[in-house]
Structure 1
């Protein structure tokens, strides 16, 4: 769970680093500027209590069969709450849920890596993430693979939609400037994921991968 291509290119696969050319600009929002590099150690914003008057707009586009229980309706609400807790106060996130075939196509197109992956993140904002001392506005597209979520959820003993939410949260943290390019950053980013997921009552979702092996 540690792939992040060079700055302004797709940040994706949370397991294996990969290099790819920057994604070209285009009319399709998913072909525009992908996620950026991150804060220095210790610069991540403090987790905030939910504020129902703030937060980004979150849309989900489902391009494959839903999981059971469904992600539709649930993932948007959960990701918005996670975003608010992470310090996001505005903007727009679009989550595209796809199957292996579509993810494999996008993975090779944007990261230069054949085969499927779990998540790709595209930063559509004009800024390079938030400051650590103030609220953030995010604009981005996050692509999650529901086929991969099903496989990992079966192995790790939780619902596929919880696994898919982990992928979406990983993408959100990339948009907020987090990275997992090296071991220290990897551990910090995934600890942050589990901290946020525990705060919304889902437990340490990423941490379960060690328990299931």
Structure 2
């Protein structure tokens, strides 16, 4: 059974599920990162930390890619006429994030921060399908991470 906790932040309520035995950032870090990236107050979010097997299965099912990935964003889509504060779910694969951090010469904490912020921006409607969208989204990520004391993740 995964560990689960709730963190209340001024702008977002986070449910954290840890379906892994080790790894992933502390709830305090998540609180800080979510607060920095959240544009709309009063929303809720599910953050699930998983192993490579669960990430691969979800990535295959929802994106048609049979491999684990660093972060998956699942926006919550309300039926017409229903009002709810749930923004969506983020699924972050700890082994992939940690391997990427090592390969890119980044701290594990900084890369986790980047993945949380990246995923939250997706849940808030940002994307990187076109060059212009990618430039705007990356600029937001860089600025939020800079405000938190992290280096530009794209350098």
Return the TM-score normalized by structure 2: 0.81
Aligned counterparts of 1:117 and 1:53: Cα–Cα separation in 2: 27
User: Corresponding residue for 1:117?
Assistant: 69
1:98 Cα offset (Å): 0.8
| RMSD across aligned positions (CA) | 2.2
Residue 64 (str. 1) matches residue 20 (str. 2): yes
Aligned counterparts of 1:66 and 1:79: Cα–Cα separation in 2: 20
User: Corresponding residue for 2:98?
Assistant: 150
Give the 3-state SS of the residue equivalent to 2:26 in structure 1.
coil
Dislocated runs of 4+, deviation >6 Å: none
Deviations 1:101-160 (A, max 9, x none): 110000011111111111111111539xxxxxxxxx652100011111111111222322
| Unaligned stretches of 5+ residues in structure 1 | 1-51, 128-136, 209-213
User: How many residues get paired?
Assistant: 143
Higher relative CO (Cα under 8 Å, sequence separation at least 6) belongs to: 1
| Unaligned stretches of 5+ residues in structure 2 | 1-7, 80-84
Tell me which of 108, 111, 120 is aligned to 1:163. 111
Residue 55 of structure 1 contacts residue 83 of structure 1 at CA under 8 Å; is this kept in 2?
Answer: no
Give the 3-state SS of the residue equivalent to 1:88 in structure 2.
coil
By percentage of residues, which structure has more helix?
2
